[in-house]
A and B are shown apart, each in its own frame.
Chain A
Amino acid sequence: MSEVELEMALRADVKAAFPMLVETYQDALYRFGLRLTGNSHDAEEVAQDAFVRAFRWLLANSPPGEGQLKAWLYQVTLNVFRNRVRKPKLPTAALDAAELVRGDDGLEPATAAAAAETRAELAQVLSRLPLRYREAVVLRHVEDLTYPEMAAVLARPEGTVKSDVHRGLGLLRAALAETREEVLV
């Protein structure tokens, strides 16, 4: 179901439309949570909390303006995540086994294993970036949001968001180079 259709359905009847909202955005919010927290357990909790909060808000208020549902849901998820980080530390993200075993179709097993390893490593390094840059890189390059959408989600000017993404990618590259060296030593 498209964003616009969902928005219309929510305006008509929140309770009837909300299950469809969950269907439509569960992969996105879970993935967003996974890339921010670095582990599937926290990701599931973050996504579920975000949905529950979104539901309560929608029951009491009218849905966000036209074409803003998706950005708003990311915003709610981000708030849930930030609240958790602020509270007693999230348990350190354990490397997800799922990430390591998943192979790539059409690749030789050895290559697939290497690719999966790189991916897991990247996910790990990403989940340790400073919050500000982690959020920016994930929203732009994993979630594929546009800069105007990101500016709305993060409540920062587009220029700031762009430079955060740039800075975040730089930090990511540096951190990856570092872990590589550690492995070599």
Chain B
Amino acid sequence: MTETEILEKLEELREVRAPAGLRANTLLATGLADAYFPLETPLGRLYVAHNPRGLSAVLHARSPQDFERAFQAELGRLAVPQDPPPKLEATLREWLRGDHRHKLRFDLRGLGEFQQAVLFKALEIPYGQIRPYSWIAREIGRPKAVRAVGTALAHNPIPLFIPCHRVVRTDGHLGNYSLIGPEAKRTVLEAEGVAVDDLVRLADSGIRYFGSDTTHIFCFPTCRYNKTLTPRHKVQFTSEAAARAAGYRPCKICKPSCAESYADGDPRVTAS
């Protein structure tokens, strides 16, 4: 080969393109992008994003491109498609079945302290049970911030796995749901075995709590303690005051007591 030929051939060596994975892996390694994958759920196909800190977003989107746009708009980072890590995917499926033996981690950077407190409290609500907004407000020590609790849950970046769907209106009606819409909330709850229609009927008739006339303890209707009650011993209450007046104390598992009754000097507390 002459030198000219060699130079020509060297120029041909320029015809190279970077492999598709290079950009994605670089963005993941620099933390500028989160990885994401589609996941089939009771609500159909959702997209799940994650990074080394944990899950960062769960969104409904019509296409991967739509998801990437929405993710970037909400979190300010890029999202690149990657195969799901098998362990993570398995744990997500377990959680959807109510099996929480493996931990999930959540990346809630960028959220305020209040919203984080609300979301972590929602995580404590067991699979297949529901609690009112006011319950969260009281449990995190902000009994008057019921509306703010609703807002914080409405902006839950990781719905389904941080179960904001298990938080409902204080009057027992389902209330809004950030993911897709209110009907989706019913779908998820029913998938968890919650008898939504019965609960709504109960709420309409003003029933808020069940109690046991043998233990004199009252609970939220979905508390697992209620499942052990036989109808003969089941009593219904329309308010906490009524339950307390009848000599019942709040359950220690579902903690149904409302904010004011915990306040010092509350007449109902001192009276009982």
- Chain A positions near chain B (C-beta within 8 angstroms): 15, 18-19, 22-23, 26-27, 29-31, 34-35, 40, 44, 47-48, 51-52, 55, 115, 118-119, 122-123, 126, 137, 141-144, 169, 172-173, 176-177
Contacts and interface: CB of A to CB of B under 8 A. Distances in A.
A119 B13 contact: yes
B30 A51 contact: yes
Contacts of B7: 141, 169
B13 A52 contact: no
Q: Report which residue of B6, B30, B78 has the largest number of chain A beta carbons within 10 angstroms of its beta carbon.
A: B30
A18 B6 contact: no
A173 B3 contact: yes
A55 B33 CA distance: 13
B264 interface: no
B14 interface: yes
A119 B12 contact: yes
Contacts of B32: 15, 18-19, 55
A4 B13 CA distance: 27
Interface of B: 1, 3, 6-7, 9-14, 16-19, 21-23, 25-27, 29-30, 32-33, 78
A143 B11 CA distance: 9
Contacts of B29: 48, 51-52
A122 B13 contact: yes
Contacts of B9: 118-119, 122
Nearest to A143: B14
Given A48-B25, A122-B9, A31 B14 contact: yes
Contact of A47 (B3, B22, B78): B22
A137 B18 contact: no
B253 to A, nearest CB: 46
A31 B7 CA distance: 17
Given A27-B16, A27-B18, A51 B6 contact: no
B213 to A, nearest CB: 62
Contacts of A26: 18, 22-23, 26
Contacts of A176: 1, 6
A17 to B, nearest CB: 10
| The 5 residue pairs across chains A and B that have the minimum distance between CB atoms | A30-B18, A26-B18, A141-B10, A31-B16, A51-B26
A28 B7 CA distance: 18
Given A51-B26, A119-B9, 11 more contacts: A19-B78, A22-B23, A26-B18, A27-B17, A30-B17, A44-B18, A47-B22, A169-B6, A169-B7, A173-B3, A173-B6
Contact of B16 (A30, A48, A141, A169): A30
Contacts of A23: 23
A142 B13 contact: yes
B19 A44 contact: yes
A182 B77 CA distance: 54
A118 B10 CA distance: 11
Given A27-B16, A176-B6, A141 B11 contact: yes
Contacts of B25: 44, 48
A48 to B, nearest CB: 5
A142 B1 contact: no
Given A15-B32, A44-B22, A48-B29, A123 B13 contact: yes
28 contacts: A22-B26, A22-B27, A26-B23, A26-B26, A29-B18, A30-B17, A30-B18, A30-B19, A31-B16, A31-B18, A44-B18, A44-B25, A47-B18, A47-B26, A48-B25, A48-B29, A51-B30, A115-B12, A118-B9, A126-B13, A137-B10, A141-B7, A141-B10, A143-B14, A172-B6, A173-B1, A176-B1, A177-B1
A142 B17 contact: no
A118 B26 CA distance: 32
A92 B52 CA distance: 33
B1 A55 contact: no
